[in-house]
């Protein structure tokens, strides 16, 4: 899992909190549902994905597109698990559920390769799971050491922590570096380097789900993850 000093953790989670505040502005588009998955107790691969703010229960638009793209690029049987949280502001709730499900899969299906991910607020959920080695801010179920060995890839879309830190999240998480792809549309006001608030309204479309689907970044993430399986 890697070890970080308390100052680093505070800085990272402060950035995650700032990201959460920005991500609460996201406008939701109608969700395209994943096709019903066949009941497989231990799939070869499972995607564990946290949707964006106020998206309907499920993997969300970006998560759904990612799972479908990954399935198209791999011959492996790929299941999915939508992180169970209200997708409003309860990042700690989402992080606890994501962590609990990872731990369940590690114990029950140790040979299953896991792919973690999140879009917007869901990216902040994933940030907390990866970066927090102990209880913090209501998150009370951190991953045990060695959990990372079961994770093949981690995909972020529109991750606000990237903007606050000033660099991709993978650089803060050395244990995960080679497994992480942290994607941001060029003008996405939530995660890009631009600090000009005057441009935020005009560029808000780059943060919305359609912006990530149209840009090809979802397909890029699927290509990255497929190569790690």
The verdict on residue 34 lying in a domain is no
The verdict on residue 179 lying in a domain is yes
Active site residues: 120, 188, 207
The verdict on residue 7 lying in a domain is no
What is the tens place of the pLDDT at every residue in 57-82? 999 999 999 999 999 999 999 999 99
The verdict on residue 21 lying in a domain is no
What residues have CB less than 8 Å from 137, skipping those under 6 apart? 13, 17, 92, 128
The verdict on residue 148 lying in a domain is yes
Q: Which CATH number fits the domain that encloses residue 218? A: 3.40.50.1820
Look up tokens 């759904």; give the residue: 64
What is the tens place of the pLDDT at every residue in 192-223? 877 677 777 888 888 999 999 999 999 999 99
The verdict on residue 27 lying in a domain is no
pLDDT at 8: 52
The verdict on residue 35 lying in a domain is no
The verdict on residue 223 lying in a domain is yes
Residue 169 dihedral angles phi and psi, to the nearest 5°: -60, -30
pLDDT at 174: 78
What 8-state DSSP symbol labels residue 139? B
**Polymer length of the chain:** 229
Rounded Cα distance, 156 and 25, in Å:
18
pTM: 0.83
Question: Count of domains in the chain?
Answer: 1
Where in the sequence is the domain holding 138, given as residue range(s)? 45-227
């Amino acid at each position: 899992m890697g070890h970080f000093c308390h100052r680093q953790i505070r800085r990272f989670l402060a950035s995650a909190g700032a990201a959460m505040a920005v991500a609460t502005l996201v406008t939701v588009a109608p969700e395209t549902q994943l096709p019903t998955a066949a009941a497989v107790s231990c799939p070869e691969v499972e995607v564990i994905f946290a949707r964006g703010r106020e998206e309907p229960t499920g993997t969300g638009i970006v998560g759904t597109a990612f799972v479908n793209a990954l399935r198209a690029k791999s011959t492996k049987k790929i299941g999915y698990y939508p992180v169970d949280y209200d997708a409003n502001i309860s990042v700690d709730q989402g992080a606890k559920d994501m962590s609990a499900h990872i731990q369940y899969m590690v114990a029950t299906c140790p040979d299953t390769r896991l792919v973690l991910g999140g879009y917007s607020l869901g990216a902040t959920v994933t940030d907390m799971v990866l970066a927090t080695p102990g209880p913090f801010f209501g998150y009370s179920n951190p991953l045990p050491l060695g959990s990372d060995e079961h994770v093949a890839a981690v995909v972020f879309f529109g991750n606000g922590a990237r903007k606050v830190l000033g660099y991709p999240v993978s650089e803060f998480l050395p244990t995960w570096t080679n497994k992480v792809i942290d994607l941001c549309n060029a003008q996405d006001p939530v995660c890009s380097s631009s600090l000009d608030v005057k441009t935020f309204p005009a560029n808000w479309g780059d943060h919305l789900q359609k912006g990530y689907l149209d840009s090809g970044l979802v397909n890029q993430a699927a290509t990255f993850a497929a190569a790690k399986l």
